[in-house]
Amino acid sequence: MSKFISTRNIRFMIKEIFDSKSLTDYPYYSKHNEKMFDMVIDAALKLAVKLMYPVLEEMDQTQPVLEDGQVKVHRAVKKIMKEFGQGGWISSGFAEEHGGDQIPLIIRGTASFIFSAANYSANAYPELTTGAAELIPSFGSRELVNTYVAKMLDGKWQGTMALTEPQAGSSLSDITTTAYPDDNGRFKIKGEPLAETMNFFQK
């Protein structure tokens, strides 16, 4: 048991409660096995202990700042993004055709839980990049996939999500927005829009 997580509880949940091994019966996950899932969890814990937990307090006390038109974040973010990109953490759930490892959500979610427990502020950067990158193959053109996805999964570019919730506080479900397609292949927005942006930064 580390200072921020109980590996005993984690293994009990993913093995005894959720039976993650049974997922390997499905063709999409058939290349994996329980031993490999254990290795992913062990690697996530080592990365969290070595890279993320040591800067937890410092990152928590040092907020991003806007200087001369540029947002500056903690110096550890660059190294974290590089490690997560090269280690395949950003791309772990993606299909092999996009450079991913097709890791089941229960295992990816467990790794993310470990990272967040060690340093939530640090984990937000690769986590949001994964989320933004997942949108592109789902809804984007081949050109967009080729332009953005590989660099995002490598940790060279980042994706962020900015949420605007007028008069809603943190209740996203209170916002109603509808998109109507027009004859030109575009969409017209009606309602109170939730402003979501994906921003890409080259490292």
**Domains in the chain and their CATH numbers?**
7-191 (1.10.540.10)
Which of 100, 110, 113 lies closest to 40 in space, CA to CA? 110
Find tokens 């019966």 and name the residue. Answer: 25
Give pTM, 2 decimals: 0.80
- What's the pLDDT score for residue 102? 96
Task: Look up residue 171 and give its two tokens.
Answer: 């209740």
- State how far the alpha carbon of 146 is from the alpha carbons of 131, 151, 152, in Å: 17, 9, 11
- What's the pLDDT score for residue 168? 54
pLDDT in tens, the chain (203 residues): 468 899 999 999 999 999 999 999 999 999 999 999 999 999 999 999 999 999 999 999 988 899 998 889 999 999 999 999 999 999 999 999 888 999 999 999 999 999 999 999 999 999 999 999 998 988 889 999 999 999 999 999 998 776 666 565 566 667 777 888 989 888 888 876 554 444 444 44
Side-chain-side CA neighbours of residue 15 (13 Å):
13
- What's the pLDDT score for residue 189? 81
Cβ burial of 84 (10 Å; 0-12, 13-18, 19+) is buried
